[in-house]
Amino acid sequence: MRSQLARYRRLAGWLEQDGVLGKGWSRRDATALLWAVTSVATYDLLVVDRRISVRRYARMVAAMLKDTLQAPLDPAKRPKARSNRRKSPTASRERKSATWWAAR
C-alpha cells in the first residue's frame, strides 16, 4: 500500500507541476482521491458486486478522475513529457500515463 500511495503522490505532483491539477486541489487531496477511487474495495463494489465489466470500470474511473482533478486545458499549453524526470522504468510508464491522461 505504501508504494501505491507513493505512486499516486508522484502522479498528483506531476499534474500539479504541469499546471493541469484542477483549481482547489492540493497534491495531498488529489493523492487521497486517487488512492480511494482506485482501491480494491471500490473495484470489488463495482466489478464484483455490481457486475460492471473491468473495461467499463477502468473507463468510469479514468473519466471520473479526469473530470474531477483536471483543470481545463489550453491547447497551446499541453504538457510535454520530460525525459529528465525518468528515474526508473516504472516512473517512466507512470509519467507517460499521467501525460496521456492529462492530454485527453
Residue 7 in any domain: the answer is: yes
Q: What is the pLDDT of residue 103?
A: 57
Q: What is the pLDDT of residue 99?
A: 57
User: Cell 495531498 sits at which residue?
Assistant: 28
Q: What is the pLDDT of residue 86?
A: 53
Residue 104 in any domain: the answer is: no
Tens of pLDDT, residue by residue over 16-70, are 998 899 999 999 999 999 999 999 999 999 999 999 999 999 999 999 999 999 9
Structural domain boundaries, residue 93: 2-97
Residue 103 in any domain: the answer is: no
Residue 102 in any domain: the answer is: no
C-alpha cell of 68? 474531477
- Asked if pLDDT for residue 87 goes beyond 70, the answer is no
Q: What is the pLDDT of residue 90?
A: 58
Cβ(5)–Cβ(35) below 8 Å:
yes
Q: What is the pLDDT of residue 44?
A: 97
Structurally, the chain folds into a number of domains equal to 1
> 86 CB contacts (<8 Å, ≥6 apart)?
92, 95
Q: What is the pLDDT of residue 6?
A: 94
The stretch 75-79 carries a mean pLDDT of: 62
